[in-house]
A and B are shown apart, each in its own frame.
Chain A
């Protein structure tokens, strides 16, 4: 067995991409908030980024096999925490998502995402077959289903949805058979269809969620609600043109027409001020980040490591897809932030911890 891995084994390219995306985020947070009552938010974000970096390196030092060893306990802790949030959690913006930790409010569900990545990695790594049986698939589904139901109860549809691609990508790489894939796709389509079908959605969605669905389908009927948000976001993006309006010069951004322009809709603000060329840069960086993650998975020492890295890739990829698609009006408003660019403590911390897991796998690829 080799000595503990050294600094040169870290994926410095990945870190460079990460840092660049964070820088874009900080710049746009500054631009979006500097003239308003929220001024100074970019400094808070930098503080979170610093904490994130430290946490990332700390987590990378702890051998991921040890972490996977504790998966059942982590899972249990995660479920308990989710129940605790529902019982004693702090309500903000109409949802019980936060518990106070160290004077800040942490979103438990962000931590739970990380735990599910670990739990699924262990579960799929233990499947000693190239083909995933239906029995194992259902087991994995139940494993994800419990925390998902608890998060939906908060309610936090966005975070709950993120658990789905973790399961899908894990199952796919774990040897999902096409018959099962077909059956579950059908079920998934039916579920999504029912969400958009009022008689059914009335029973399974909260009023505000139904409203978002409606305003996504008919934005003109809801001029001031979330349809308005989507429209204003599209106006911001579109009016940016190819070259953008320039840093601090986006009227939609600066005059507050873009909803939560420093967080969920930061891509809209970025696209307005930096134009298509800026979007090209940002999405290029995200693509590079994701491809780099896949590459790390391909070079992982074992299946467990690969599943860990791909779990992270699935979570981040889903975040980017859903957030950016929302900004350009391709998806309804779900409240999913853009990883590393959107302002937010818990979300930022989650991304860095997740990347910490990736580094963990990366630096141990040559260790026997």
Chain B
């Protein structure tokens, strides 16, 4: 065989050897690459692989329910579905937005806004794009699982409150967490979460909220679920039992009716609040899903101020109810002495100005001692007492009897009311106190203001002999705060006898409220909204109806119940507010009698049923005390409508 080349066997051995080294070097470089990925950075990539593989869908913890003192459910939950958008893959989200917008009927700008709002969140955290999904929405998601694998259903628990705004201000309401709250929560809240926005919902949010769980599923590269991982169960929020007696609450709600005002009933022996009403009241069920900005604005701008919890936020002149403070101050200070009497011709002149008694133009009180002055609410007597005591002594007693500062009730945004003093005018208005102002303050007018709860606590505390329990709404709370102010027994006797007289004596201002079988006592108040000067400047044509107050309690010593009622623009205290107090006190005793008699079997049956339904015992709860720091911290985060 002849070949086209000679048998040349000169091989480039050196260059072949070099090629061998190149091969070894090449494999070495590749191995270094693998070493970097698989040994040095292995943990990071393992995490990324997990993130690829595992999709986490939150399991929302149901909020704790609220029960009344007998175990009846006041605030409950119902199941509902929200639509979740999974954002692991921004490009795909972008691509599918139009289809999602059309399918769920959400404007595409809204979706973009929501995505924008959650831009700071990690991509693997899904966001709620539509709460309260309809049947059509659920069908849409189910039928598009393969082509739009970005949507998930999330079972959530919506709040159900009693209808018609029943106890709405005490319970408060939940709403979508605001951006500020998210930022302040250290990652505990996500957009779309519901948190307590006001009332008990806000105060006890940490307890009620529970801890969301996580359902973890394995998804393949096209987003299809292929397996399930162990689910991290949600820890339901704790149920709280309130001191509210829903029977009393019901009576209070109905008795106040459509009038603007507030009712607070509390047990002064323990500080337990038995009823708390503020009208007008919004229906928190309206906020349980998502409230629009317009609706929110409307609620906020409503001149009737439905969002204001008048029981703790209405700071109004207490009117003649303040005379109880004055009487206590006088008896304790012995200025003027307890035997002091004044003559009431229905008017008197102090510092060159004429001050009238409320009976002016109808009759006069004649010679008045302390007892008569309270029973018949004589202004002239207390003008004199006020003049003799002076503003700083009045201020001292009013403060120590609980006015001018928060009661510490376990609700957010409690107001302080105001007890004026020389120091106060100096600080706020940079002027001297006019002695004439003291005269107005002496009958609970002028600068002095108080909230219904403060008055209930003050009157209850005086009747208790100077023991002021911290009012609270959560039952069986340990470490209830208590303030003591030494009031002598004779003072307590005199003042409570007088308040008994208000209701039970012939000339008492609230004689019409007498309750047979019950030692019902109290004090009415009729407070002008604006002072005489302002009224005369605005002209007499305009009618400003007085605010009507009544603070009543029973029995006359160490009372079990004290009820404070404000009816705004209600007119005379004993006519507008008084009957509401009487209704509540009567309801309290009716229930108590029935219970002790053991005659009401129907109610007991209902009771048992409720108990069975609420197997889990209410948590033992420390009331969230309203220390100044806590209040300041809460108020630093203003509520924002969502």
Cβ-defined contact, A235 with B52, below 8 A? yes
Chain B 6-50 near chain A by CB (<8 Å), digits 1 or 0:
011111110111011001101100110111111101101110111
Indicate whether A237 sits within 8 Å of B49 (C-beta atoms), given known contacts A130-B10, A297-B16.
no
- Which B residues touch A297, using CB under 8 A? 11, 16
Indicate whether A241 sits within 8 Å of B220 (C-beta atoms), given known contacts A128-B8, A321-B30.
no
Whether B221 is near chain A, meaning CB under 8 Å from some CB there, is yes
CA distance A108 to B156 in the complex (A): 61
Partner of B5, one of A169, A279, A304: A304
Chain B 551-577 near chain A by CB (<8 Å), digits 1 or 0:
000000000000000000000000000
Q: How far is the CB of B42 from chain A (nearest CB, A)?
A: 4
Chain A 122-157 near chain B by CB (<8 Å), digits 1 or 0:
000110101000000000000000000000000000
- Which A residues touch B19, using CB under 8 A? 169, 172-173, 294, 310, 313
* In the complex, residue of chain B having the shortest beta-carbon distance to the beta carbon of A258: B221
CA distance A317 to B30 in the complex (A): 12
Q: Which of A40-48, A93-101, A280-288 contacts B (4 or more CB under 8 A)?
A: A280-288
Indicate whether A238 sits within 8 Å of B30 (C-beta atoms), given known contacts A251-B53, A279-B38, A302-B7.
no
CA distance A65 to B626 in the complex (A): 100
Please report the number of residue pairs spanning A and B whose Cβ atoms sit closer than 8 angstroms. 149
Indicate whether A287 sits within 8 Å of B27 (C-beta atoms), given known contacts A173-B16, A255-B220, A302-B9.
yes
Q: How far is the CB of A280 from chain B (nearest CB, A)?
A: 7
Whether A300 is near chain B, meaning CB under 8 Å from some CB there, is yes
Whether B219 is near chain A, meaning CB under 8 Å from some CB there, is yes
Q: How far is the CB of B95 from chain A (nearest CB, A)?
A: 10
CA distance A68 to B3 in the complex (A): 10
- Which B residues touch A256, using CB under 8 A? 220-222
Cβ-defined contact, B26 with A279, below 8 A? no
Main secondary structure of the interface of A (DSSP, over half): helix
- In this complex, the interface size class of chain B, counting residues with CB under 8 Å from chain A, is 35 or more
Whether B633 is near chain A, meaning CB under 8 Å from some CB there, is no
Q: Which of A55-70 contact B (CB under 8 A)?
A: 65, 68-69
* In the complex, residue of chain A having the shortest beta-carbon distance to the beta carbon of B26: A321
Q: How far is the CB of A98 from chain B (nearest CB, A)?
A: 27
Whether A356 is near chain B, meaning CB under 8 Å from some CB there, is no
Of listed B16, B50, B222, residue having the most chain A CB within 10 A: B16
CA distance A274 to B53 in the complex (A): 19
- Which A residues touch B615, using CB under 8 A? none
Cβ-defined contact, B11 with A287, below 8 A? no
Indicate whether A276 sits within 8 Å of B35 (C-beta atoms), given known contacts A65-B3, A257-B221, A313-B19.
yes
Indicate whether A325 sits within 8 Å of B33 (C-beta atoms), given known contacts A276-B38, A290-B23, A303-B9.
yes
Cβ-defined contact, B5 with A324, below 8 A? no
Chain A 297-333 near chain B by CB (<8 Å), digits 1 or 0:
1101111101000100100010001001100101000
Chain B 53-68 near chain A by CB (<8 Å), digits 1 or 0:
1000000000000000
Q: Which of A218-235 contact B (CB under 8 A)?
A: 223-224, 232, 234-235
CA distance A326 to B39 in the complex (A): 18
Q: How far is the CB of B53 from chain A (nearest CB, A)?
A: 4
9 smallest beta-carbon distances between A and B, as pairs: A238-B45, A239-B49, A256-B221, A238-B37, A255-B220, A328-B33, A276-B38, A287-B27, A241-B42
Footprint of B on A, CB under 8 Å?
Answer: 65, 68-69, 125-126, 128, 130, 169, 172-173, 175, 223-224, 232, 234-242, 251-252, 255-257, 271, 275-276, 279-280, 283-284, 286-287, 290-291, 294, 297-298, 300-304, 306, 310, 313, 317, 321, 324-325, 328, 330
Kindly list 17 other residue pairs between chains A and B, CB separation below 8 angstroms, not including A238-B44, A239-B49, A294-B20: A126-B5, A175-B12, A237-B45, A238-B41, A238-B42, A238-B48, A242-B38, A255-B53, A255-B219, A256-B222, A257-B221, A284-B27, A287-B27, A298-B13, A302-B8, A303-B10, A321-B30
